[in-house]
Amino acid sequence: MTLLAIDCGNSRLKWGFCQTAPEHNVHWLAQGALPYADLAGFADILRAQPLAERAVVANVAGALVADVISATLSALQLPAHWARGQAEQCGVRNHYEQPEQLGADRWAALIGARHLHRGPCLVVSAGTASTVDVLDADGNFQGGLILPGADLMLRALAQNTAQLPLSDGHFTGLPRNTADAITSGCLHAQLGAIERMYAQVAALPDAICLVTGGGASQFFDLLRIPKRWVDNLVLEGLVRIGD
């Protein structure tokens, strides 16, 4: 089966075409990303790709983006499934107090993580916001964090303080100028949240931190925990949801 997976995040759209096979093996044929300013050209991108049998979509970008995606898929006569947080799906159980309130992207990332790693893991997705979620070895989503991403922290400081500029500093252990102090502080906030949450699974056999997202490259190498980079983890989960 050929599937189109679409991840409508806070800042941009990510897409991928893949072929699935028995045992949920996935072969990616093409992947890409698109800023929302260029969304009108999404249909042309899809027409140039392999013909899919259906689409599966996660959307946290709001109703206007959803309307454009719906119209685009309808024009291509491509049936679509819209992912949503559920109590249980694809081997993952959702222990959110109200499972339907869990964002579709977080839910898909958890499902993707479950299929890539069967042990306990911390699932980190870093974009405009960073999410840090605990998934145990039995597939139970135990809970997690949402915090501003590093770039959003930088912009917030620049916009809401009188004398702290938008920083182009560098990470350092003991910053000795304002630009480095700002950059290092924002990255330490990401690292601290991730490493404190990882402590909840660190002693368990085969525990690891799975990291994805456009903002993760800023801090991935700085993490002092077992870790693995996964490109487009949300798309990996969407394929399992749609298969």
The pLDDT assigned to 160 comes to 82
The pLDDT assigned to 24 comes to 62
Both tokens of residue 232? 């487009």
What is the CB neighbour count within 10 angstroms for residue 126? 24
The pLDDT assigned to 22 comes to 65
CATH number of 118-150+180-231: 3.30.420.40
Same fold, 2-82 and 118-150+180-231: yes
Burial of 29 (0-12, 13-18, 19+ CB in 10 A): middle
pLDDT along the chain (243 residues), means of 10: 94 94 80 95 92 95 96 95 97 97 98 97 97 98 97 90 80 94 96 98 97 96 98 96 89
CATH number of 2-82: 3.30.420.40
Alpha-carbon gap, residue 130 to 211, rounded angstroms: 10
The pLDDT assigned to 235 comes to 98
What does DSSP say about strands 88-89 and 25-35: parallel, antiparallel, or unpaired?
unpaired
The pLDDT assigned to 35 comes to 95
Question: Domain extents for the chain?
Answer: 2-82, 118-150+180-231
Catalytic (active-site) positions? 105
DSSP string, the chain: -EEEEEEE-SSEEEEEEEEEEGGGEEEEEEEEEEEGGGGGGHHHHHHTSPPPSEEEEEE-S-HHHHHHHHHHHHHTT--EEE----SEETTEEE-SSSGGGS-HHHHHHHHHHHHH--S-EEEEEESSEEEEEEE-TTSEEEEEEEEE-HHHHHHHHHHH-SS-PPP-----SS--SHHHHHHHHHHHHHHHHHHHHHTTTTTSTT-EEEEESTTGGGTGGG--S-EEE-TTHHHHHHHHHH-
For 127, 160, 183, the CA distances from 180, given in Å and listed in that order, are: 21, 18, 5
